[in-house]
Amino acid sequence: MALPRARINLPLTWLGVVPFFVFVGLFLLLPTLYIVVGAFRTPEGGFTFGNILALNTPTILSAYWVSIKIAFWSSLIGCAVGFAMAAAVTVGAGPGWVKNPLLTFSGVASNFAGVPLAFAFIATIGPAGIITLYLRHEFGINLRLMGFNLLSTLGLVITYLFFQIPLMILIITPALEGLKREWKEAASILGATSFQYWRMVAFPILFPSILGTMALLFANAFGAVATAIALTGPSLNIAPILLYAQIRGDVLGSPNLGYALAFGMIVITGLANALYIVLRARSERWLK
Amino acid sequence: MTRLWSWGALLIGVAFFLMPLYGMTEFSLKMRRGEYSFDAYVTVLGDPRFQATFGYSVLMAVLTILCGVLLVVPTAFWVRLKLPGLRPWVEFITLLPLVIPSIVVVFGYIRLYNTSSWLPLTGSVTGTNMLLMFGYTVLALPYMYRAVDTGLRTIDVATLTEAAQSLGAGWVTILARVILPNVLGAVLSGAFLTFAIVIGEFTMAALLDRPAFGPYMQLLGANRAYEPAALAVIAFAITWACMGLIQLVTRFSKHNRVAR
């Protein structure tokens, strides 16, 4: 029997990663699992789909929907602008010396999120912000009368862009630099215009990276709590703020409904990240 | 044509980034009517609650970094050396904090470690502080692990370990005096990024009810006009300093490394 010998070898090597697995088990996996299991349990401990079905109320559905809208638009615009900026300094005709400062700044800006970011935007385009007042006094443009309000969906999208665009720049720049010069030369020898090269060669290669990064940006915006709370207080009905209020004071009136709300958030960010992982694997076929 | 859109995209982007930076700086200087002054900064920096919460968050950041290093360096080292088959799994787990929103994780903490549970961490102040530190370590895990693992890739872990072992070194000596100095640049990069994340973190601290810098900023934002802008400038400067230190550390650690 070969079993006893294997038994002597195994435990010693595995011992080295025990602290890590105990740690992530206690402080990452178990708490998450507790929420997920709680989403499918009655207060008495039995199994039920009732909590998930109970999410189907106008308040909760609209909270999810507004969150998804904010995450979608901020990731879409973030992707487009970030891509254009990164392309301008890598493969476009923009000044090359801008690249490194831009990357450094992106590192800073992508981490400048949360409460201070909200303050910066309130001071700039909030009701009494510098630019709001400047436009009103100098040009007579009243942003508020034009329907703009920082404490709204649009305001959140604009604010989130401050960390979404830099994140896109950081992730997509290596992919753009991975575009081989030979591809462009081969295309132009065959008579392709610059537009045809982009449409038929470069863009299909980059597409999985772009879409994957967009999924990552989506998850990033969807889970953001601090910026939203500092910007709008508890008034705006979006999923993270609703969950925050639920944890603080059980506004939904049922702990298990709170678990279901949190579970829904995990599902949405989980799907977005799964998309990112699949698409990144696909993009690595061409860009190494 | 290419030139036009390249410059156009850059100018629009840069203008968008400069706008709030200019806005918060200008606003923070306008507390005194009609002239520029540092009044808002003086008020903020002189506020005893600012000093207390900022000190608390700095302490938390340092403890989180220590906890993260102690957890990540031995694990990444061991996985590379002895259990390479486990690497995709460990990597996957370390990326999970990016998938699971931190508000969900802390929700789990509150329910799992409440006063009537088997490990009543939230029952005492020390316990809650520890729980917050562990939570921050979880938040920093993706960045810390990636940084250290990249650092380990550039050195020959197996040879270094064998060399140290034949000279009679034990595991602790190997980790502390052979591996750690070799990946110090990577560890410091991870540490500064952790610092930048922890110092202004709001969600976990607020929900665990700890007197940290993030909740203090939020409270001030709800009640004051000019001080929040000053806080934003200070927070931006801290983030910038952390990123600058990371660049500095990466540049220095490149020089003493042999090209592969």
**What are the residue ranges spanned by the domains of chain A?**
58-238+264-283
Check CB contact under 8 Å for A244 and B103: yes
Who has greater pLDDT, A149 or B229?
A: B229
Residue A45: is its pLDDT beyond 90? no
d(CA B4, CA B71): 50
Tell me the pLDDT band of A6, cut-offs 50, 70 and 90. Answer: very low
Dig out the tokens for A150 from the structure.
């920082």
**Residue B83 phi, psi (nearest 5):** -125, 55
For A123, which of B23, B141, B239 is closest by C-beta distance? Answer: B23
Please write the tens of the pLDDT for every residue from A197-217: 888 888 888 888 888 889 889
Dig out the tokens for B121 from the structure.
């961490």
- Asked whether B161 and B174 are in contact (CB, 8 A), the reply is yes
**Residue A173 phi, psi (nearest 5):** -60, -45
Dig out the tokens for A135 from the structure.
């436009």
Compute the 3-state secondary structure of chain B and give helix, strand, coil in percent, each to the nearest 5. Answer: 80, 0, 20
Interface of A with B in 209-228 (CB under 8 A): 219, 222-223, 225-226
Helices then strands, counting H and E runs in chain A, come out as 15, 0
Pick the CATH number of A58-238+264-283 from 1.10.3720.10, 1.10.2020.10, 3.40.50.1370, 2.60.40.10: 1.10.3720.10
d(CA B201, CA A274): 26
pLDDT at A273: 86
Indicate the average pLDDT of chain A: 85
Count CB neighbours of A129 within 10 A: 24
Closest chain B residue to A262 measured between Cα atoms? B104
Closest to A24 measured CA to CA, from B184, B197, B142, B191: B142
Please write the tens of the pLDDT for every residue from A52-95: 888 888 888 999 999 999 999 999 999 999 999 998 888 877 77
- Asked whether A51 and A36 are in contact (CB, 8 A), the reply is no
Q: Does B196 touch chain A (CB under 8 A)?
A: yes
Tell me the pLDDT band of B1, cut-offs 50, 70 and 90. Answer: low
d(CA B213, CA B58): 9
Q: What CATH number is given for B35-254 in this structure?
A: 1.10.3720.10
Residue that the structure tokens 């499918």 belong to: A40
pLDDT at A287: 63
Residue B102: is its pLDDT beyond 80? yes
User: Would you list the domain boundaries of chain B?
Assistant: 35-254
Q: How far is CA A18 from CA A4, B26, B50, B79, in A?
A: 22, 52, 39, 11
Q: What global pTM score does this model have?
A: 0.88
Closest to A20 measured CA to CA, from B45, B107, B94, B256: B94
What is the nearest CA distance from B30 to chain A, expressed in angstroms?
10
Check CB contact under 8 Å for B221 and A115: yes
Q: Does B136 touch chain A (CB under 8 A)?
A: no
d(CA B112, CA B125): 17
Q: Does A234 touch chain B (CB under 8 A)?
A: no
